[in-house]
Amino acid sequence: MSDKTVALPEAGKHAGFLKANLREYGMLLSLFAIMLFFEFVTDGTLLRPLNLTNLVLQNSYIVIMALGMLLVIITGHIDLSVGSVAGFIGAIAAVLMVRYGVHFIPAAIACLAVGALIGAAQGYWVAYFKIPSFIVTLAGMLVFKGLALAVLQGQSVGPFSPTFQKLSSGFIPELFPDAGKAVIMISSEMPELLGICDRICVMNGGAFVGEFDRAEATQEKIMRVIVRKGERLVDRDLERKLEEQLQGEAHP
């Protein structure tokens, strides 16, 4: 009896790897397939920077809640009250800022403290009294949904301060506000261009035919590029007319 080692083909190794890890990477592959589908359906709108920015702004609170839910699910539990607690905390924040005029930073700190207290209270019943998290958080979902309605008194609260609104609709100020800005000037006056512009791009016939920095740009160089390109355009027009004439003679 002899031991023999059989080497599997390279294709077989890859197929075995996919079969063994398909369940683990199934969600990732599904997400990739969904992104490709909507990228095709929307004609490339899905992955444009503006749309990605809107998606992040609109779903930021969901991402934050999902991070907390990840820790709960990893430990083998579930939290059914996360949406109701988020609504209740949001109601407290709205009342503090709109009705009582509290600045959004102290209001946010107070809401974080209340949220931590609620999570600790529900975790206390699960950890020390061994009550299933499903039961505890189901009760919390009903309780905090009612408390949110009580705090808001069944009404919408607003308007919020412009500074607070910029947290969801504004952008972080630039560290170097003057960097990355340019002024485009279109002109045919050579002295004006040479005296103002740092870079000069030359166009002829609807196409770029040359580019010069301020140090190397002169009126002669710019005119030489324009004339040379113009001669090529004239020659091309003559060739095209000659070809059309020859085709017309060949097919009377």
CA atoms of 81 and 69, how far apart (whole Å)? 11
* Structural contact between residues 154 and 91, judged by C-beta atoms closer than 8 angstroms: no
**Per-residue pLDDT in tens (0 to 9) along the chain, 252 residues:** 455 555 545 555 566 666 667 777 778 888 889 989 988 888 888 888 878 888 887 888 888 888 888 889 998 899 999 999 999 999 999 999 999 999 999 999 999 999 999 999 999 999 999 999 999 999 999 999 999 999 998 888 888 888 888 777 666 666 666 655 666 767 667 776 777 777 777 776 666 667 777 777 777 777 777 666 555 544 555 556 556 655 665 555
CA atoms of 213 and 175, how far apart (whole Å)? 27
Centre a 10 Å sphere on the Cβ of residue 97 and count the other Cβ atoms it contains. 20
Nearest CA-CA partner of 147 in 64, 139, 72: 139
Helices 82-94, 60-74: crossing angle, 10 deg rounding:
140
* Structural contact between residues 114 and 92, judged by C-beta atoms closer than 8 angstroms: yes
Calculate ∠ Cα 164-155-114, nearest 5°: 55
* Type of residue numbered 108: A
* Structural contact between residues 166 and 112, judged by C-beta atoms closer than 8 angstroms: no
- Collapse the DSSP code of 203 into the 3-class scheme (helix H, G, I; strand E, B; otherwise coil) and give the result: strand
* pTM, two decimal places: 0.57
CA atoms of 149 and 145, how far apart (whole Å)? 7
